[in-house]
Amino acid sequence: MGAYRRTGRALTVLGAALAASGLVGASAITAATTAAAAPPTTAQIDFAPASSPAVAGWTTDTGLGFDATRGYGWVRFADETPVDLSAETRQRTGTSPENSFIHLQRPSGSGLVVAGGRWEYSVPDGVYSVTVGVGDTGKTATGAYCCLDSTHRVSVEGVEAVKDFVPTAAQPTASATVVVAVDDGRLTVDATGGVNTKLTSLTLEPSTATPAVPAPRITSTLPADGATGVRLDTSVSLAITEPVDDTTTAASVHLVGPDGDVPLTLNSDAAGGTISFTPARNLSANTKYTVRTTTALRTKDGQAFLSYSSAFRTDNSSPPVSPYAFRRAATTSVAKPSVMALGPDGRLYVGTYTGSLVRYARAADGTLSAPETVQPFGDRIITGLAFDPADPTALYVTNNYGIAEDAPRSSGAVSLLRLKSGGALSAATASPVIIGLPRSRYDHMTNGLAFGPDGRLYIAQGANTAYGDTDVYWGDRGEQPMSAAILVADVHDTTLFRPGVAVNVNTDTSDPAPADGSAPAVGYRPGAAGAPVKVYASGVRNPYTLVWASNGKLYAPVNESADGGNTPASPDGASPHLEDVPAYADFFTRIVAGKYYGHPNPSTGHYALNGANPTSGVDPWEVRQYPVGTRPEADWQSPDLNLGVHRSPNGAAEYRSTGAFGGKLRGSFIVSEYSNGDDLLAVSLDSAGKPVSSATIADADAPGQRLVFTNPLGVVTDPVSGVVYVAEYLNETDLTSGAITLLKPAQPASTSLKVSFQPKTATLADGYSRDAGAPFDGTRGWQDLAGNPLDLSANTRVRTSSAAPDVRYTSFILVQAPAGSGNTTPGRWVTTLPDGTYDVTVVVGDATATNSRHRIVAQGGTSSEKVVVDGFVPTSSTPWRKSTARVAVTNGRLTLDATGGTNTKLDFVDVVPASGFGGASVDFTTQTGPLAADSVRDYGQAYDTTRGYGWVGETSRQPLSLVGNGRVRGSASSPDQRSDTLILSQATAQTRGTWEYALPNGTYTVTVGVGDATAFNSTYAVTAERGQPGQVTVLAPTTPTSTTRFFTASARVVVADGRLTLDGIGGTNGKLGWVDIAAGG
């Protein structure tokens, strides 16, 4: 799923050679640019220092950089710009060409090599016979050969001439001849894969023989051979000449350090156009590492790559790791996840590369369960999901033809999946909305979706090529007017998008190669007036995700190409054609309407790649292969943040949690890197919303290390808890592998709130946030008691009273407004809050009226329901009531309602995490039965760390559900409400339970109540902390009678393991009614 492609001259050389030799017509071959001042086509080159005597009949190459006037010289591996290697030339005793040479991989004192370069010689396109000489005739004072420490390898136009020649005293030099084809105006020679290769001489002459076909090979690495100062978190990329079979990489690609092979995460892309890998952990400091490949590495058609070796050395620099650390909390297997979205129903929706759409329920702690799976588009690849903000049942889905290679040209689509409210996912119905969108030969396709603040749908559309011009890797499929672009469609406009009728946007006027899956060619014009789908921004090569952020701006991660692509020539000559362009950096950027982001597209009149090369200095996003003076397109927009080459940024999500990390990460982006990196970035913005810096997300369980994934794609963040979901594609060739990984912030979300209920214009107390009665927006606000958004803004009031203790008491909101006083629908206030236990303080009252019976209930209708204010009737002397209750939040939301009250007026709320342990009362009952006042309900739930209490097996101590064992007697014989309910703790041998309650270590007074108003067929026994040093008997075995049916007992208990444990071992048919826990003892 990466984004990198090479065109590779090796795939076009043979055709040009055949034309030059007359075996096919020259008209069948694309013309290449010929050097302006080519030297002779028959030449003899002696590689020697400038001070060496000239050899008659030979031209001396002294190692200078390539010069167009001279017509030959040396260029860098990385970008093919001139490089001076004159310091690498040597002269030995003697005057023949074999007595001098140029080092191409000279060993340095660090154990690495001094990087050489490629030698280039300008010639007309055609076929040439080339002879190269290698070796070293140097001798010691005693006459022995001194320098035989080489494995010479030389390739000419990708054809291996000298094949790993190891010199000896009997044969210190060697030569080899190959017949090669030139199709770009330059003969190219390199020593890639050799060890300390020394090039002595070269001769060439035209030939009529059939040229050799280049063997597949690796042409360079990043970090480069001989690189020093490499970061400890480096990834490695290998440039290749042929598409790789990525099933062969694991056994053939190695990174070797002092302790042997380093564990790696390997990837390629659908085209097989690059190989990259990321070490599983940071490398060691100041250490040499060697990249090695073997001939077991194969092309897609089974050819062996030449073996290869290069090395680099790390420094001790620490990678830029974000201060915000996360830890892996859970992993859920799902085959080939490609995109995710949080639904308005709170569930996680996952689209896959194999066409499945999976929906998961989410627990309060973020873990996933209860998957539902459908395949609404067959095997079509799902790459984008967007819920319509105006309709929670409308899910828009991008889907693409379900093959990774030679896909139909215009086969991308956007469909509407209509969900059934409250129904199963299988009840959803699908219908196409847009068809005929562009598709490349490989995995550039119609990608992410996002609804904008204007209600329109924005679509990320990938490119068809590497760098704008056709090439072999990409099937010679040119760009289309809507490829490499951000598109926009007003899907709500029923004059443009009629329900059930797909809009065909195939821009072709005829079908050049009709194929199943392509929409018919209709000559669609996106620029026409009234066009349903338009181009919003162009030149965006492969944007995978779109995000409309809370600041109102549109953002996208964008993948550039691997090396080897071609650029188109502009008709006016301002932007010349380029071939074999090297890889350029991926980026993360704002997307601005009407701007061009650098990927050429002749069909839209854009020819210049990126920032072109306007000056002789260093220009933004410059392309050094262009002649100086080549200007960028007039509408070119410089991307914001350079992420580096071969990173493949794909997933992106705004981090919106106000609580996690104290809100410091809020407004930043989390971006996944699929190729080099295999990690997540935290991208920071400046005050204008421009992405300005990035740092890798830290691993909370490995200080100083970044979190490393295996091919991460989609990213989703929870706006409340701050948890992050990452779609890991895992093994690229195994269509059954994949996972959703849940990350939790190491610093949990902030858990304190101070909220004043008042009109928008009222004076706000310091440190408080205002609630003016707005409907619930997913974070905070009002609902009716059925859970629907409710606007109570008309119910806010301000009073003037000298009796008010402070400004907080001078305003309130009518939670149950009487007729004529605003919205009379009773309300429930909701705020998102991480799960936990809180001390909730509320103030109710009105300085000027006493016509209320105030009642506030927290977590109404749940097992954590708690009455905070119970029926307070104010008087003129006591108009307000302040009350605090300890409340458990288990579903990510704190709710307050006034059920049971009359004309309740809520002034302000303070919420803080429970400090220490404030005591607990637990009532054992049924799920819906009566609950004693100020008690927590336990109806037999298995122990859960999030809830903090529940049941485990009496002997196994594993979570055990006793749900169904609760009883309500409704008996007048019960001494109070909590004694009237109970739970059977030893109903059967299979349901003998021990109850546990999470507590800080310390000393507590524990009081238990046991008994049954209607039966006395038990022996009650309660022991605390069995098996711990603090084990104590709370209630010795006791048998009830018809006259003594209930028993209460207390004990001082020391908790040393973080949990209070109560069991009934020693009794039979235990019936636990209630437990009180108080700090101290």
920-1079: what fold? Jelly Rolls (2.60.120)
**Mean pLDDT value across residues 99-109:** 89
CA dist 925 and 653 (Å) reads: 43
CA dist 1002 and 839 (Å) reads: 20
**Mean pLDDT value across residues 125-129:** 96
pLDDT band for 965, please (50, 70, 90 cuts): very high
| pLDDT surpassing 80 at residue 1 | no
661-682 tens-digit pLDDT: 877 898 999 999 998 889 999 9
- Chain centre distance of CA 692: 18
**Mean pLDDT value across residues 15-42:** 40
Greater model confidence, 108 or 1045: 1045
| pLDDT surpassing 70 at residue 761 | yes
**Mean pLDDT value across residues 590-609:** 98
- N-terminal to C-terminal alpha carbon distance within the chain: 62
DSSP 808: G
Query: Taking a C-beta distance cutoff of 8 angstroms, is the pair 584, 645 a contact?
Result: yes
Tell me the one-letter amino acid at 515: A
| pLDDT surpassing 80 at residue 707 | yes
322-745: what fold? Neuraminidase (2.120.10)
CA dist 138 and 427 (Å) reads: 81
Beta strands in 246-380 (DSSP E): 253-257, 260-261, 264-267, 275-279, 288-293, 308-314, 321-333, 337-342, 348-352, 357-362, 368-374
CA dist 962 and 565 (Å) reads: 65
Q: What are phi and psi of 117, to 5 degrees?
A: -170, -170
278-301 tens-digit pLDDT: 898 889 989 999 999 999 999 989
CA dist 995 and 944 (Å) reads: 11
Whether the domain at 9-214 and the domain at 753-913 fall into the same CATH topology: yes
Percentage of residues in the chain having pLDDT higher than 90? 69
- State the pLDDT at residue 682: 96
CA dist 187 and 73 (Å) reads: 11
- What does the DSSP assignment read for 6-70? ---GGGTHHHHHHHHTTSS-GGGS---PPPTT---SSEEEEE--TTSPPPTT-EEE-SPBPBTTT
- State the pLDDT at residue 918: 64
- State the pLDDT at residue 249: 93
pTM over the 0.85 mark: no
Query: Taking a C-beta distance cutoff of 8 angstroms, is the pair 287, 260 a contact?
Result: no
**Mean pLDDT value across residues 895-904:** 95
* Homologous superfamily of the 753-913 domain (CATH): Galactose-binding lectin (2.60.120.430)
Tell me the one-letter amino acid at 916: G
| pLDDT surpassing 50 at residue 542 | yes
- State the pLDDT at residue 704: 73
Kindly tell me the burial class for residue 22, based on how many C-beta atoms sit within 10 Å of its own C-beta (0-12, 13-18, 19 or more). exposed
Parallel/antiparallel/unpaired status of strands 669-673 and 724-728: unpaired
988-1003 tens-digit pLDDT: 877 899 999 988 788 8
Average pLDDT, the chain: 89
- What does the DSSP assignment read for 535-565? EEEE----B---EE-TTS-EEEEE----TTE
Tell me the one-letter amino acid at 637: Q
328-385 tens-digit pLDDT: 999 999 999 999 999 989 999 999 999 999 999 999 889 999 999 999 999 999 999 9
Percentage of residues in the chain having pLDDT higher than 70? 94
- State the pLDDT at residue 751: 62
Greater model confidence, 862 or 743: 743
- What does the DSSP assignment read for 635-667? TB---SEEEETT--EEEEEE---SSGGGGTTTT
1009-1046 tens-digit pLDDT: 999 999 999 999 999 999 988 899 999 999 999 999 99
57-66, 108-117, 865-874: which has the minimum mean pLDDT? 108-117
CB atoms near residue 27 (< 10 Å): 7
Query: Taking a C-beta distance cutoff of 8 angstroms, is the pair 325, 695 a contact?
Result: no
Closest CA to 583 of 597, 565, 569, 598: 565
- State the pLDDT at residue 318: 63
Query: Taking a C-beta distance cutoff of 8 angstroms, is the pair 255, 262 a contact?
Result: yes
**Mean pLDDT value across residues 851-875:** 90
The residue extents of the domains of the chain are: 9-214, 220-319, 322-745, 753-913, 920-1079
- State the pLDDT at residue 1031: 93
Any idea which residue has 């080159």 for tokens? 45
pLDDT band for 304, please (50, 70, 90 cuts): very high
150-164, 740-754, 814-828: which has the minimum mean pLDDT? 740-754
| pLDDT surpassing 50 at residue 11 | no
Write out the two tokens for 512. 């050049």
- State the pLDDT at residue 9: 33
CATH of domain 220-319: 2.60.40.1220
pLDDT band for 160, please (50, 70, 90 cuts): very high
| pLDDT surpassing 60 at residue 890 | yes
| pLDDT surpassing 50 at residue 3 | no
Query: Taking a C-beta distance cutoff of 8 angstroms, is the pair 582, 467 a contact?
Result: no
62-88 tens-digit pLDDT: 999 999 999 999 998 877 889 999 999
Write out the two tokens for 286. 């100041």
33-42, 458-467, 488-497, 842-851: which has the minimum mean pLDDT? 33-42
pLDDT band for 512, please (50, 70, 90 cuts): low
**Which CATH code, of 3.40.50.300, 2.60.40.3880, 2.60.120.430, 3.10.20.340, is assigned to 9-214?**
2.60.120.430
**Mean pLDDT value across residues 872-879:** 89
Any idea which residue has 């946007």 for tokens? 505
- State the pLDDT at residue 34: 36
CA dist 110 and 65 (Å) reads: 25
- State the pLDDT at residue 514: 53
| pLDDT surpassing 60 at residue 786 | yes
908-929 tens-digit pLDDT: 999 987 766 667 789 999 988 8
- State the pLDDT at residue 5: 29
* Whole-Å CA distances, 832 to 224, 780, 909, 1015: 50, 6, 14, 44
